[in-house]
């Protein structure tokens, strides 16, 4: 935790942020000194692993020794405002995706709090909705799960399918989702989630998966979502995706916030840092 104290004062972004607050804009996500730790089961393997596991299940006591703790996010604080698109950058394992999951309410914080306006929705690229069901069914189910009514889903169905571009190469929407390529699955998921305007939309590398045409469409859609007074977070390793889509960027390094400011400046500083490495 000592690193935190070294990094923090060097952060040059404070004036911009103070200006934001002073302008009286509405915050949508407030992250207040958040720490996130993972408890890793089975990091210690070898003799007695099975009996240790058994006693762990039987006794509900929290273990002091067995598991290992990974401190993924260390004291990050910032406030995001309505209409902002914020890029999260940083090298692998710097805590970007972890922070995003915590904002979505899918990971508990070890310390500190995350306040949100409404329910943030997280779009990841890996998981499909329900592999055994057709794309059609997934569109309807996804829409209903997000809280749209049946009528809204049917009204938006064509729009969602057209947007995803799944049917560009034949009638794929009536095939089970497990037969889709990972790119197609990610596109359909993005299309479903983007059909509804969210207060806060969190995107984890979604833009990197689609082809050029889909990337352009999704950038346009993100711009629309921002105009509908939402906030968009984007995690990406593509610096160009961050600068074209986002106006603000957060740079995370080993779980601490290195820099927070206009996307172009932060990306430039990050690029300079990676080149030095």
Partner 1 sequence: MSSQTTTLPTAPPADSLSLGELAARHGLTVSGARPPLGTYITQLWSRRHFITAFATARLTAQYSQAKLGQVWQLMTPLLNATVYFFIFGILMDTAKHVPDFVPFLVTGVFIWTFTANSITAGTRAVSGNIGLVRALHFPRAALPIGLALQQLQQLMFSMGALAVILMCFGEFPKPSWLLAVPALALQAVFSTGIAMAVARLAARTPDIAQLTPFLLRTWMYVSGVMWSIPVVLKRMELPEAVVLALRCNPVAVYIDLVRFALIDSYTRAQLPPHVWALALGWAVLFGVGGFVYFWKAEEQYGRG
Q: Which residues bind partner 1 (CB under 8 A)?
A: 1, 4-5, 8-9, 11, 14, 17-18, 21-22, 26-33, 38-39, 57, 75, 77-79, 102-108, 111, 113-117, 119-124, 127-133, 137, 140-142, 144-147, 149-150, 176, 189, 193
Sign of CA pseudo-dihedral 168, 245, 189, 90 = positive
> Would you say 166 and 174 are in contact if contact means Cβ atoms under 8 Å apart?
no
Q: How many Å apart are CA 185 and CA 162, to the nearest integer?
A: 14
Angle between helices 212-227 and 182-194 (to 10 degrees): 20
Quick one: DSSP state of residue 62?
A: P
Q: Which residue has the tokens 């992250």?
A: 31
Q: Which is nearer to partner 1, 191 or 239 (CB)?
A: 191
CB of 48 to partner 1, least distance (A): 18
Query: Which pairing describes strands 256-262 and 248-253: parallel, antiparallel, or unpaired?
Result: antiparallel
Q: Which is nearer to partner 1, 89 or 192 (CB)?
A: 192
Q: Which residues contact 118 (CB under 8 A, 6 or more apart)?
A: 28, 198, 199, 200
CB of 199 to partner 1, least distance (A): 10
CB of 169 to partner 1, least distance (A): 22
CB of 190 to partner 1, least distance (A): 10
Which of these, 181, 178, 224, 183, lies nearest to 201 by C-alpha position?
A: 224
Helix (H, G, I), strand (E, B) or coil at 258: strand
Q: Which residues contact 199 (CB under 8 A, 6 or more apart)?
A: 28, 116, 117, 118, 119, 120, 230, 231
CB of 140 to partner 1, least distance (A): 6
CB of 192 to partner 1, least distance (A): 8
Q: How many Å apart are CA 100 and CA 69, to the nearest integer?
A: 19
CB of 60 to partner 1, least distance (A): 10
Query: Which pairing describes strands 68-81 and 121-123: parallel, antiparallel, or unpaired?
Result: unpaired
Q: Which is nearer to partner 1, 31 or 207 (CB)?
A: 31
Q: Which is nearer to partner 1, 77 or 243 (CB)?
A: 77
Q: How many Å apart are CA 85 and CA 249, to the nearest integer?
A: 8
CB of 274 to partner 1, least distance (A): 25
Q: Which is nearer to partner 1, 46 or 108 (CB)?
A: 108
CA 135 to chain centre: 23
């Amino acid at each position: 935790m000592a690193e935190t104290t070294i990094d923090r004062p060097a952060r040059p972004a404070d004036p911009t942020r103070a200006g934001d607050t002073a302008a009286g804009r509405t915050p949508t996500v407030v992250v207040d000194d958040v720490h996130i730790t993972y408890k890793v089961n089975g990091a210690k393997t070898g003799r007695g692993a099975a009996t240790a596991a058994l006693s762990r299940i039987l006794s509900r006591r929290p273990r002091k020794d067995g598991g290992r703790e990974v401190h993924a996010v260390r004291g990050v604080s910032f406030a995001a405002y309505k209409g902002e698109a914020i890029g999260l950058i940083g090298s692998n394992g710097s805590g970007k995706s972890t922070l995003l999951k915590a904002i979505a309410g899918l990971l508990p914080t070890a310390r500190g709090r995350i306040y949100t306006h409404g329910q943030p929705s997280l779009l990841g690229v890996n998981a499909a909705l329900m592999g055994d069901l057709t794309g059609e069914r997934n569109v309807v189910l996804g829409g209903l799960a997000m809280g749209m009514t049946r009528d809204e889903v049917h009204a938006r169905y064509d729009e969602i399918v057209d947007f995803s571009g799944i049917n560009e190469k034949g009638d794929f929407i009536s095939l089970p989702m497990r037969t889709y390529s990972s790119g197609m699955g990610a596109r359909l998921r993005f299309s479903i989630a983007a059909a509804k305007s969210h207060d806060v939309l969190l995107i984890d590398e979604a833009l990197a998966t689609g082809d050029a045409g889909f990337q352009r469409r999704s950038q346009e859609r993100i711009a629309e979502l921002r105009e509908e007074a939402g906030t968009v977070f984007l995690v990406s390793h593509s610096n160009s995706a961050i600068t074209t889509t986002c106006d603000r960027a957060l740079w995370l390094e080993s779980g601490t916030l290195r820099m927070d400011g206009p996307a172009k400046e932060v990306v430039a500083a990050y690029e300079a840092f990676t080149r030095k490495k």
